[in-house]
Chain A
Amino acid sequence: MQNHLEVKLGKKTDRKGPVIFSEYKRGEAIKKALSMSREDILFELKDSKLKGRGGAGFPTSTKWMLTAAAKAEKKFIICNADEGEPGTFKDRVLLMEYPELVFDGMVVGGYTIGAQLGIVYLRGEYEYLLKPLEDYLEEMRKDNLLGKNILGKEGFDFDIEIVLGSGAYVCGEETALIESLEGHRGEPRNRPPYPINTGFLGRPTSVNNIETLAAVSHIVVKGGKWFAKFGTDKSSGSKLFSVSGDCEKPGVYELPWGTKISELLEIVGAKNAKAVQIGGASGHCIPKSQFDRTLAYEDVPTGGSVMIFNENRDMLHVLKNFMEFFVDESCGQCTPCRIGNVKLLEGVEMIEKGQYTFAHINKLKELGRTMQLASKCGLGQSSPNPFISILENFKDEIFNRGNGGRNGR
C-alpha cells in the first residue's frame, strides 16, 4: 500500500533486485546502526568491500574511517545527488522511489563519522523533487529518525538539509560541490588536502553518492558478508545501470557486478548494437568486438551510465556530441581542460569536414594524454577518453567517411 508521500514521489513498488532493490523497511538501518558501535559499522563496511558508486570507486569504509578519525568539533556528510553524467538517471530513481534507503544511509554515515549535519546537494533539474523530499524529511523528524537523540540514542543529534545545485556538471565533482555549497563558483579545489580533512567550511567531510548510501543501509541491516556474496571479488554487490539509447527496454537495472556487456544488452533488448558507451561522456566506448568484457572495476568500471548505439549511428557524431559537452561543461579553471577540449573538438570537426592530417590527429591524441595527466580534476582527466577510445575503436568507420573531402594523409 502506498502512502501519500509515495504517491507524490511517484514511487513504484514493483522493482525487484537482489541487493539495492531488495526488501527494506524505513528506519531499519538507523535502528540497527544505533545498536552497534562505530567500529562495528566500519567493520561491516569493510567486509562488504563496498566501493563508492559515484564513479571513482574509492572504498567507502576507508573514506568513512578517515573522516571518523579526523579530529574536529564539526563534521559533515554530503549526499552527492548532482547526477550530471550524461546518460545516468539511476540516482533519481533511488531518490524518488527509495528515499528511505538514501536518507537512512546518511544518518548511519553521520553516526559513524561523527557528523551533526547531512546535506543533500540536489541537481538543479530535480527541483520538482525538493518539496516531496523535504516533506519526507519532516516525517522522519516526526518519527525521531532525525533530530535530537535519534531513536533515544543519547547525544546523537543529526539532521539533513537539501540544497539545490544550479546546473553545472562539474559541481558533481566533490570539491566543486563543496565550493558551490559554500556559495562560491563551482570549481574543483586543489588536492591535497582532501575533503575528509578539509571539506565543507574547512571541516572534515564525507561526500557520498546516492547509490553508495543506499547500499550502506542494506549492508548495515543484512551484513557486509551478505553484500560481498554478490558480484566479483574486487567488485562486490550489485550495481544500478541507467540504460539508454538503441534498445527496447531502456531504464534502471540492478545487475550484479561481473555481468558481461553482451548479457546486459540481451536483457535490455538491444538488437544490433555496434557500440556501448560505458560510464557516461567521460567513460569508454566499447565496440562490438569487445562485448564479452565484464562490467566490473577489474575490467570496465562504471558509475552506471550505459548508452547503446546501433548500426545506424555515426560514431564521429557521437564523439562530437561528447566533446561539445566538455567544451561547455569544463569549469574553465585549468588550461589543459579549458583549451584542450576545444582543440579536441576542433580535431573532430576537421575529420568531419575531411580536412585533417594524421599527424595532427596524433598530435591531438598526445594532447589528450597530457590532459589526462595534467588537468586539475576528474573532468579534464577523463574528457579525452571518448576522443581516444572512439577514434581508436572505430577508425575504419571514421577515417573512411565518404565525405568527399580531403581525407587524412
Chain B
Amino acid sequence: MEDKKSLRAPVSQKPHVVPKPEHPEYLGGSITVEINEKKLTVPFGTTILEACKQAQIHIPTLCHHEDLCVAGVCRVCVVEVEGMRTLQASCAFPITAPIKIKTTTNAVRKARKHIIDLLISEHYGECYSCFRNNNCELQSLAKEYGVDHYNFGHVTQPRYEVDNSSYSVVRDMDKCVLCKRCVRTCIDLQEVGVLEAIDRGHNTHIGTFFDKPLAEVICINCGQCINRCPTGALRANDPRDEIWAAIDDPTKHVVIQTAPSPRAAIGEEFGQGAGKSFTGELNTALRRIGFDKVFDTNFTADLTIIEEGTELILRLYKALVKKEIVALPQFTSCSPGWVKYLEHFYPEYIDNLSSAKSPQQMFGALIKTFYAQKAGIDPANIVSVALMPCSAKKFECNRPEMNSSGYKDVDYGLTTRELAQMIKEAGIFLPEMPQSHFDDPFGEASGAGLIFGATGGVMEAALRSVIEFVTGKRVEDVYANADITPVRGFEGIRYAEIPITEVGPVPKLLQHLVPDWNWLKGATLKIAVCHGTANAKKVMEDIKAGGKFSECHFIEFMACPGGCLGGGGQPIPTNEEIRKKRAEAIYNEDKSLPVRKSHENRHVTELYDMFLTDGPCGHISHKLLHTHYVKRGKFIA
C-alpha cells in the first residue's frame, strides 16, 4: 500500500479538504447562505460556525479551538441544515452549497442541553475545588444553558487516578470531557503525539502509550495541552504550597526571578485585556507577598546571549579557521520543551545544542553562588523561585544536571497562572499596585533579554550583539531602531541571511578567544527561527535531508507556538490574537528601555569583571552557566 506516514494524524482531525466547486455558479468562490432567514455571502468552504460568527450569531462550542484542526466530537455546536435528516456540527461542516441554516430550533436547543447534561452527568469534580473555577468552558456552557439540576444523574465516585508523576503536567481524567483538544494539540500542533484516546465506548479515555504515567513517556512538558483544555482535567504541577511555606519560614531567604512573558500576560488573570506588561506593579506585589528579593530573568538572558553568542563564534572559528569538525548549525537551548523534544526525537543532534543553560538556570546557579557570597547568605537557606510562562521549566529545574551551585539551582518553577493565584490569595489587585524596580546586584536588564519572550527574540538579541561585536558598527546603523524585523513575526519558520561586508576590532571581552575578525569578512551569516515543535520537526527533517537549514549557522527553536509568551504556564485561553498582543507588549517594553543590547548591560560586564573572571565560555562560566544533555530516544525503559 502507499506510504501512510505522510498522513500521520487521522484525517478526521485534519482541516477539511474541501472539494472543488462542482457547480459553475460557485466558481467565483463565494456562496450565499441563509442563517435564521438572513442572507449572508461567505467564501466557499467556510464552516457554518465561521459563517455564524460573521453573522454575529453565537453558537456554543466545546471541542472546537481556533489553534487546532476540526474534531466535531462534542456536538454542542449542532445546527439544523434544511433538507438534512440529522443535525450538523457547525464547526465541522464546510459550506459548499447555498444551504439554509437554523441555529435555535427546538431540536437544536434540546440537543445542546442534552449534550451538556450528559457531559455533566459523567463529570466528577466540584467547581469550588478546581483551578478552572470561573474560567472553565464546561462550567460556562452549564450556565449558558441554565443547568440547575442533574437531569441524568451524577457520578459519585472517581473513575481514574490522578496522574501527577510529571514535574510539569497533572492529569485528572475525571474532569475530562473527551474533547480531544489535548490530543490534537500534542499530535498536530506539537507533533509529539503523547496523548490519544484509548479504549472504546464508555471506557474511552485519554491516555498515553500503554497508559503509562506521563513522566514515563515522551512528553516534552510544553504544557500546550493545558492551555487548550477546556476544563480542569489538565493542569500544571503546582508548587504554591511549598513556596508559601518557604515565605512563612523566617530562616529562609526567598528570592524570585521573573521572566518577561509572564509580565506581559499576567494582567489577563486580573481581567485586563491582553497586550500590557505589568513589570513594575508585579515587583511591588511580589515584595508585598513576602519575597525577599525580586530579580529580572532578563539579566541572565543577557548573559545567555554573551555565552551563547561566544559559543557560536568559537564554533565558527573552529570550523572556518582551524578546520576542525564541529556541530553546526548551533541550536538554541533556552526552551526546555524543545531540548527534551530533541533529546527524544533527534538525539543524534545533541551536540548541536548550545551548551549554554537557559536564563532560568543560569540565574539559579548565580543566585546560590555569586549573590549568596555578595549578600553573605548561606545558599542552603536560599529558596530560589522562577516565575516562568512555562510548564517545562518545572521539569528543567529538576534535571539532575542542574545543581552546579552545589544545591538545587532553582527550587521551584512557578507559572504565570499560579503566581496570579498567589497574588489573589494575598488580597492584592495587581493592576493597581504602584510600580517599583528590580533588586540589585542584577538590576534592570536590557531590551534584548526582554524580547526572549517572543519567537525570534533570542535570535534578534543575539544578532544585536554579534553584529556589533564583529562589525564594530552600531546595530541602529544597519537596522532602524535596532529592530531586526526579518526575524520577527509569527510565521512558523523564518530564514534570513546577513552578509558580513566589513569587520571591526575584536572587543575586549573576546580578545582571548579570537585574534581578529578577518576570517568572517565577506561571509554570510545564515540563520533561522522556528516556534512550535511541529515547525521544529520540519526544520530538523530538512537538516537531516541536507536542505537549506543544514547550511545555517544558528537556529532558534522554541517549543511553544509564539515562543515563551505562548508557554504552557500562561493564562488561559490562548489564541493567535492573544499571543500577538502579548508580543506587542514585549516589543513595546523593549522600545521603552534605555539599554537594548545584552553586551551593554552594565551588570553583565561587571559580572565578568568580578566573578566570571576568565570570560565568556571560560572555566567558571562552564562550571556554572553551561550544561550537557541526555540522549533519550523515543522509548523509555
Residues of A within 8 A of B (CB): 70, 74, 117, 161, 168, 170, 175, 178-179, 182-185, 187-190, 192-193, 197-198, 201-202, 326-336, 338-343, 346, 363, 366-367, 369-370, 372-376, 381
Contacts and interface: CB of A to CB of B under 8 A. Distances in A.
Interface of B: 1-2, 4, 7, 10-12, 16-19, 70, 72-76, 78, 86-87, 89, 92-94, 96, 107, 110-111, 114-115, 118-119, 121-122, 151-153, 177-178, 196-197, 199-204
A335 B19 contact: no
Q: Which 10 A-B pairs have the closest CB atoms?
A: A332-B204, A189-B12, A339-B118, A190-B92, A370-B114, A374-B111, A190-B72, A184-B10, A330-B201, A370-B111
17 contacts: A170-B200, A178-B11, A183-B4, A185-B10, A185-B197, A189-B10, A189-B11, A198-B19, A327-B202, A334-B72, A335-B115, A338-B178, A338-B204, A341-B202, A374-B86, A374-B87, A376-B75
A57 B364 CA distance: 68
A201 B119 contact: no
A187 B12 contact: yes
Contacts of B200: 168, 170, 328-332
Contacts of A381: 86
Contacts of B94: 192-193
Contacts of B1: 117, 161
Contacts, number: 153
Given A190-B70, A366-B110, A202 B118 contact: no
Main secondary structure of the interface of B (DSSP, over half): loop
Contacts of B76: 335
A327 B202 CA distance: 6
B75 A375 contact: yes
A31 to B, nearest CB: 28
A202 B17 contact: yes
A184 B12 CA distance: 10
A163 B153 CA distance: 43
B17 A332 contact: no
Contacts of A366: 110, 114
A397 to B, nearest CB: 26
B18 A336 contact: no
Given A338-B202, A339-B119, A182 B197 contact: no
Contacts of A198: 11, 17, 19
A338 B12 contact: no
Contacts of A190: 12, 16, 70, 72, 89, 92-93
B119 A335 contact: yes
Nearest to B180: A333
A193 B118 contact: no
Given A334-B75, A338-B201, A376 B151 contact: no
B17 to A, nearest CB: 5
A201 to B, nearest CB: 6
A182 B7 contact: yes
Contacts of A178: 11
Nearest to A175: B12
Contact of B202 (A170, A185, A330, A373): A330
Contacts of A376: 72-73, 75, 89
Nearest to A117: B1
Given A331-B200, A376-B72, 12 more contacts: A168-B200, A175-B12, A188-B12, A190-B89, A202-B7, A332-B178, A332-B201, A333-B73, A336-B111, A336-B118, A339-B122, A366-B114
Given A190-B92, A334-B73, A336-B118, A346 B11 contact: no
B162 to A, nearest CB: 21
Contacts of A335: 73-76, 115, 118-119, 177-178
A190 B13 CA distance: 9
B203 A332 contact: yes
A346 B118 contact: no
Contacts of A339: 118-119, 121-122, 152, 202
A328 B202 CA distance: 6
Nearest to B114: A370
Given A201-B2, A381-B86, A334 B10 contact: no
A182 B4 contact: yes
B152 A343 contact: yes
Most buried by B among A161, A336, A370: A370
Contact of A193 (B19, B114, B119): B19
B202 A346 contact: no
A329 B4 contact: no
A63 to B, nearest CB: 15
Nearest to B152: A343
Nearest to B96: A192
A193 B16 contact: yes
Contacts of B92: 190
A367 B114 contact: yes
Given A189-B12, A367-B152, A340 B118 contact: yes
A282 B78 CA distance: 23
B4 A201 contact: yes
A376 B18 CA distance: 19
B75 A336 contact: yes
Question: Which of A335, A338, A375 has its CB near the most chain B CB atoms (within 10 A)?
Answer: A335
A179 B11 contact: yes
Contacts of B11: 178-179, 182, 189, 198, 202
Nearest to A373: B87
B193 to A, nearest CB: 12
B12 A336 contact: no
Given A190-B72, A335-B75, A374 B115 contact: yes
A319 B53 CA distance: 43
B197 A333 contact: yes
A187 B10 contact: yes
Contacts of A328: 200-202
